[in-house]
C-alpha cells in the first residue's frame, strides 16, 4: 500500500486535518502498523509541493493550530489512475520460506523440522485470524480472509514440499 495514494484517497473523500487523516488511515489500512504522525505530515508536505493537495488556512484547535488539507485535480487524477491499475502479481518466485528450505537441505540440516515449525506458526496465526473473522468489524473480517487465504496457500505448499524433500535434497546437494 502506498501511503501517499491512500492519503490522497482519504482527502478525495473529504478535506481533512493531518490528525484525522492519520486516524482514518490507521482505522482502515494500518492494522498492526499505525502510521507515525511524522510520516503523515512529511507525506502531506510532499503532496503539497507536488501540487496534489493544497493547505488551507490554519484553524485554532485544542492544541496547536490545525491545517486542513484539500486534494487538487492533479491529486484526483492520480487516485483515479492508481485505482484503475490492477495490482501486479508477485513478480518473484523466490520466498524466504523456500530459501530456508533449500539452505537447510544444502547444509544437511533438518528442513522437515523447519517446515513443521512453520506449519505450527501458520496454524496459530490462522486461529488468531479466525477469531478476528468471528468477532471483528467487516473491514477486519475481510483483511482476515485475505490473510487466511495466503496462509492456506502456504500450508498447501509446505505439505507438497514435505512430500518432495528427498528429491529436492538430491537436487540441491549436487
**Contacts within 8 Å (CB) and 24+ apart, 126-131:** 126/151, 126/152
Q: Are 161 and 169 in contact (CB under 8 A)?
A: no
36-57 per-position pLDDT tens digit: 999 999 999 999 999 999 998 7
CB count in 10 Å sphere of residue 100: 15
Q: Mean per-residue pLDDT for 56-74?
A: 81
pLDDT reported for residue 93:
66
Segment 18-31 shows an average pLDDT of 90
Exposed, middle or buried by CB within 10 Å (0-12, 13-18, 19+), for 11? buried
Q: SS3 breakdown of the chain: % helix, strand, coil, rounded to 5?
A: 65, 10, 25
Q: Judge whether residue 17 has pLDDT over 70.
A: yes
DSSP H helices in 16-72: 18-28, 37-49
Full strand arrangement of the beta sheet holding 53-59: 16-17, 66-71, 53-59
Question: CB count, 10 Å around CB of 97?
Answer: 16
CA atoms in the 13 A half-sphere facing the CB of 159: 7
pLDDT attached to residue 10 = 94
What is the reported pLDDT for 6?
Answer: 93
Q: What pLDDT band is residue 66 in, cutting at 50, 70 and 90?
A: confident
Give the whole-angstrom CA distance, residue 150 versus residue 136: 19
- Please check whether residue 52 is in contact with residue 73, taking contact to mean a CB–CB distance below 8 angstroms: no
Report the mean per-residue pLDDT for the chain: 91
Bigger pLDDT: 90 or 114? Answer: 114
Is the pLDDT at 1 greater than 60, yes or no? no
Amino acid at each position: 500500500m502506498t501511503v501517499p495514494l491512500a492519503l490522497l484517497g482519504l482527502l478525495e473523500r473529504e478535506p481533512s486535518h493531518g490528525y484525522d487523516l492519520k486516524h482514518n488511515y490507521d482505522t482502515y489500512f494500518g492494522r498492526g502498523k499505525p502510521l507515525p504522525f511524522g510520516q503523515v505530515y512529511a507525506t502531506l508536505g510532499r503532496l503539497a509541493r507536488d501540487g496534489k493537495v493544497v493547505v488551507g488556512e490554519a484553524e485554532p484547535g485544542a492544541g496547536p493550530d490545525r491545517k486542513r488539507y484539500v486534494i487538487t485535480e492533479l491529486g484526483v487524477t492520480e487516485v483515479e489512475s492508481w485505482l484503475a491499475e490492477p495490482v501486479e502479481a508477485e513478480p518473484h518466485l523466490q520466498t524466504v520460506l523456500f530459501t530456508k528450505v533449500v539452505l537447510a537441505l544444502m547444509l544437511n540440516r533438518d528442513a522437515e523440522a523447519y517446515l513443521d515449525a512453520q506449519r505450527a506458526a501458520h496454524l496459530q496465526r490462522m486461529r488468531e485470524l479466525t477469531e478476528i473473522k468471528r468477532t471483528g468489524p467487516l473491514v477486519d473480517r475481510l483483511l482476515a480472509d485475505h490473510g487466511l487465504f495466503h496462509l492456506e496457500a502456504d500450508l498447501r505448499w509446505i505439505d507438497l514440499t514435505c512430500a518432495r524433500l528427498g528429491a529436492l535434497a538430491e537436487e540441491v546437494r549436487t
